[in-house]
Amino acid sequence: MSNATINSVSKTFKIGGDLEVNRLGFGAMRITGEGVWGPPKDVEGAKAVLRKAVELGVNFIDTADAYGPQVSEQLIGEALSPYKRGVIVATKGGLTRQGPNKWLPVGRPEYLRQEVELSLRALKVDTIDLWQLHRIDPKVPVEESLKEIAKLQKEGKIRHVGLSEVKPHEIDQARKVIEIVSVQNQYNIGDRKHEDVVDYCTKHNLAFIPWFPVAAGKLAQPGGKLDEAAKKHNATVGQLSLAWLLQRSPVMLPIPGTSSIAHLEENVAAADVTLSAEEWKDIESAA
């Protein structure tokens, strides 16, 4: 990949071929309490971060009814509705909560329908632009879960459908029932167990939404390759992690989350960080 290619990394992507978003989005998991449970310590502060994100040009916000539960969606509805033109809010359903940091999948059709109805109400929208199955429930065939979602799509309550934490064969399985436009898996420069899924999404032009997009651990340590490159480019390790994702594939939509405006501004600036192909190679080999 030449320098020119790196510098002309596309800034936007069309989800489902028709929802154009700026590729660097905002993940709204962290605007909840500890353990993604209950309200945040500073409710007004959380709403201010959401409003600032939109002000900075972020128009793709990702949440889930399980964040809080319901807290994140409600805060988004309260802070941003009526939505500025072009702002897309994606949400997820299919995970239930049993307490802080506890999550269990439930993919029964009647439960998913209830979640969609509650999400519509919390987000204050008539249609969810992108609804994602948060996890496949091992007790319920994915076809059964998605047939209900297809009905909701026909009713106009959902526009596009995505999946989360899946492998290519599961995406194929789901695509037999309903059109899938996005996949959300854990992925960053230091954790690349889903390379096959990134390649699948790139090939089929499906949005790939990496959660936990900022590298942690050994790679991010002071004095490491990422840290060295960051200093050289007057950037942070976090910004470089996001910039790497943006150049990794044109379908990549990173959604870094934060509850602080300063950190949000730093994340958004990552879209302008450019490195040469050689520098990225160096960092990748260290990873």
Q: Are 12 and 20 in contact (CB under 8 A)?
A: yes
Is 83 a known active-site residue? no
Average pLDDT of the chain is 94
Is residue 22 pLDDT above 60, yes or no?
A: yes
- 142-159 pLDDT, tens digit per residue, is 999 999 999 999 999 999
- 207-262 pLDDT, tens digit per residue, is 999 999 987 677 778 888 888 899 999 999 999 999 999 999 999 999 999 999 99
Is residue 3 pLDDT above 50, yes or no?
A: no
CA 22 to chain centre: 12
Tokens 């090939």 identify what position? Answer: 203
Q: Which residues 6+ apart lie within 8 Å of 112 measured at CB?
A: 93, 94, 133, 145, 148, 149
Domains of the chain from N-terminus onward: 11-213+249-258 (3.20.20.100)
Q: Single out the catalytic residue among 67, 83, 187, 200.
A: 67
- 101-122 pLDDT, tens digit per residue, is 999 999 999 999 999 999 999 9
Is residue 199 pLDDT above 90, yes or no?
A: yes
